[in-house]
Structure 1
Amino acid sequence: MENFPVIDMEMLNGEERSAAMNMIKDACENWGFFEIKNHGISHELMDKVERLTKEHYAKFMEQRFKEMVASKGLDATQSEIDDLDWESTFFLRHLPTSNISEIPDLEHDYRLAMKEFAERLEKLAEELLDLLCENLGLEKGYLKKAFYGSKGPTFGTKVSNYPPCPKPELIKGLRAHTDAGGLILLFQDDKVSGLQLLKDGRWIDVPPMRHSIVINLGDQLEVITNGKYKSVMHRVIAQTDGNRMSLASFYNPGSDAVIYPAPALIEEENQNPIYPKFVFEDYMKLYAGLKFQAKEPRFEAMKAMPLPMAMDTTPLQGPVATA
């Protein structure tokens, strides 16, 4: 089995830049996932976020999760559960406006740490999008502009804990799906594994690695690249011991952003667009009910959905990228 792609971001700053860019290109074209290290987010901040996330779960969420499991009889189930995930989660919204002050039970230090972490991740996401632009031959800033809409991108973090599960063969931590949005940055537990992606018909473990960030591509990047890059099915396997922490941050288009294959890529490949043009919010509404199903029927359904006349334009809105 070929090795899961791990990319040292420091290679981009020297003579190995070309090799690192080729690794990113290969990962995007053949895996839909890669893991980065030396990404510029301090280990101290990551350690703090991990400690506070686990403390928050133990203090405010663990008992609630146990009560939910008991109330549904999940700990004693004898049959496969296919409409529920073995996870305890809450959501933080960072852009266009933050809701971090409104989330109950978050202690002051945790709010501050998550705010700083989100700011670092936002910068990292935009840096990665420009690396993708470079590999694709798109102008710098194209993907950020494609995501922009009228109010900028949406960006948020799903904070998850996957507690020990007594019947992991019957209940998934998180059922198989592709991500609806743009670029996903995952800070995952380095001691408890569970994340897997589907490659060439086989489930492959995404290796836990201390202080790394796992990157994966969402459905919108598949559309914009006209299928050159593809979103990939992935899932979380529940474990019998250990509590797995997962902070998945989603850098997505703005709700009113119009998504469509990049004209420059269509011209370069001398092909027709094979994906529709649609408003991101409309896609999300459809995705909400079909998340755990194949993505192709979602794309087909969007072909039949008319664009609002005011949005049926091809020029991208948003700021021109600067250095």
Structure 2
Amino acid sequence: MEPELNGAAAEEQELGWGRSLPVPSVQEIVRKDPNCVPERYIRGQIKRDEISELPELHIPVIDFSKLSGGDEAELNKLDLACKDWGFFQIVHHGISEDVLYRVRNAMAAFFDLPIEEKKRYAMADNDLQGYGQAYVVSAEQKLDWNDLVYLMTEPIRRRSYRYWPTTVRDFKDALTTYSDQAKRVAMQLLSHLSLLMNMNREGLLNLHGEMGLGMRLNYYPACSRPDEVMGVSPHSDGSSITILWQDEDIAGLQIKHEGEWIPVEPIPHALVVNIGDAIEAWSNGIYQSIEHRAVTNERKSRMSLATFVIPDENAEIGPLQQMLDATLLPKMYRNVKYLDYIRYTLARKMEGKAHTHLLKLEQE
């Protein structure tokens, strides 16, 4: 029987956002037998005919330096990217190659540790920080082909350093440096989105309250049956926005656009950004969170680092008055306390955008 990831640190009694059931380490399964794919991971043939092969279909690319410099054309490009795609890549974002290199090496060093060492940082029974798995809510559901570490980095008081591996020498400094830079990028993006949503630059930041950052470090082992498993099931993010660094030498992220799955080809040193459910609610659906997934491959493992920008637990998400029009765009979403929403989403398995029905009003 494979070692289970979750379940350690049960002494922490404070109620968290949710929990995930213990599951085997996929990395350990592959280490013991590269050809082994347990039945619980197999979903049947994934429909490859739904994946677009049109070379011109790429998510938009935003020049962050132009955007930060007040370029009106780049701001309009951001608006269209959020309306038409919900995803875009940013280049010239100011996070140095050295910072990206360090955080990638720190992640790789952690996942290279022996399983018994990694289990020292396993998730508590009642929360999702640490090494383990997420969105596992039943013993029957199909599992994703990945291992992960989830850590809160902002606000600083939310950091649980006992989940930060001390045996990886540069882990804390590399992750902290990257978090600080990702926060800068996030705050600037939110200021531009505030202007597009007819607010002053601080509008979305004020709506967040005490803004949080949650980081999900993903490891996707190579898989001998990649057409029958999922790296991450289709879902949208419960964040306001998500900033993703992904390995540059192999694609895995796909987004759903007009009924087709579009691969997101990595651009060296670029970051992928997507709209989350919170901004979908605040914008009354003008900007929508988009279903996305990760696929696996036979050749090599892959890593990614998702930084979720999270409203304060007591923040309220729901349509802003300036995003409403009684005739053209009536109120489409209800107002919900963010803590209630995120606990609801984390208590469910990933099923596309099924969880967003909690936000949506019935329309006649």
Scaled to the shorter chain, the TM-score interval is 0.7 to 0.9
How far did 1:18 drift? Answer: 1.7
1:262 corresponds in structure 2 to 320
Q: Distance in 1 between matches of 2:69 and 2:187?
A: 20
The residue number in structure 1 matching 2:233 is 175
TM-score between both structures, scaled by the size of structure 2: 0.73
Residues 1:52 and 2:106 are matched in the alignment? yes
Contact 1:182 1:253 in 2 (8 A): yes
Other structure's SS at 2:161 match: coil
Residue identity over aligned pairs, in percent, reads 28
Give the 5 Å matches for 1:70-219.
Answer: 83-96=142-155, 97-99=157-159, 101-103=161-163, 105-106=165-166, 107-148=168-209, 152-219=210-277
Determine whether 1:42 maps to 2:42: no
Cα distance 1:269–1:90, how it changes in 2: closer, same or farther (>3 A)? farther
TM superposition shift of 1:298 = 3.4
Q: Deviations over 1:87-123 (max 9, x none)?
A: 1101111123242521153424111110111011111
Would the alpha carbon gap of residues 230 and 61 (structure 1) be closer, same or farther in structure 2, given more than 3 Å must change?
farther
Output the CA distance in 1 between the equivalents of 2:68 and 2:310.
27
Aligned twin of 2:60:
5
Tell me, in whole angstroms, the C-alpha distance in 2 between the residues paired with 1:184 and 1:265: 22
Q: Does 1:228 align with 2:282?
A: no
> Match of 1:139, SS?
coil
Q: Distance in 2 between matches of 1:138 and 1:269?
A: 22
1:50-81 Cα shifts (integer Å, max 9, x gaps): 1221122112459979xxxxxxxxxxxxxxx9
Contact 1:222–1:231, Cα closer than 8 Å, also in 2:
yes
Which residue is equivalent to 2:81?
A: 27
AA matched with 2:344: L
Find the aligned partners of 1:13 and 1:295 in 2 and give their Cα distance. Answer: 32
Structure 1 residues 40 and 103: CA distance shift in structure 2, 3 A: same
Q: 1:186 to 1:141 in 2, by over 3 A?
A: same
Q: Which runs of 5+ in 1 are unaligned?
A: 66-80, 305-323
- Does the CA contact (< 8 Å) of 1:277 and 1:303 recur in 2? no
* Residue correspondences, number: 285
Partner SS for 1:143: helix
Task: Using the TM superposition, give the Cα deviation of residue 2 of structure 1 relative to its aligned residue in structure 2, in angstroms.
Answer: 3.3
Q: In structure 1, what is the Cα distance between the partners aligned to 2:96 and 2:337?
A: 36
Q: What is the alpha-carbon distance in structure 2 between the residues aligned to residue 178 and residue 39 of structure 1?
A: 24
Q: Which of 72, 75, 78 is 1:18 aligned to? A: 72
CA contact (8 A) 1:177 1:291 kept: no
1:11-66 CA-partner distances (Å, limit 9, x unpaired): 23558x1221121111100101000011011111111111221122112459979x
> In structure 2, do the counterparts of structure 1 residues 45 and 281 end up closer, same or farther at CA, with 3 Å as the change threshold?
same
Aligned partner of 2:162: which letter?
E
**Matched position secondary structure for 1:207:** coil
Q: Secondary structure at the match of 2:284?
A: coil
Query: Is the alpha carbon distance of 1:7 and 1:269 closer, same or farther for their aligned partners in structure 2, counting shifts above 3 Å?
Result: farther
* TM-score when normalising by structure 1: 0.81
Partner residue of 1:299?
A: 357
Q: When you count helix as a share of all residues, which structure comes out higher? A: 1
Where do residues 263-278 of structure 1 align in structure 2 (5 Å cutoff)? 263-266=321-324, 271-278=329-336
Q: For the Cα contact (< 8 Å) 1:176–1:234, is it kept in 2?
A: yes
Query: Any unmatched runs of 5+ in structure 2?
Result: 1-55, 120-139
In structure 2, the residue matched to 1:239 is 297
RMSD between aligned alpha carbons?
2.4
Distance 1:91 1:27, change over 3 A: same
Counterpart position of 1:68 = none
3-state SS of paired residue (1:11) = helix
Distance, in Å, in 1 between the alignment partners of 2:194 and 2:187 is 11
8 Å contact kept, 2:247–2:302:
yes
Q: Distance in 1 between matches of 2:328 and 2:258?
A: 27
Distance 2:338 2:68 in 1: 34
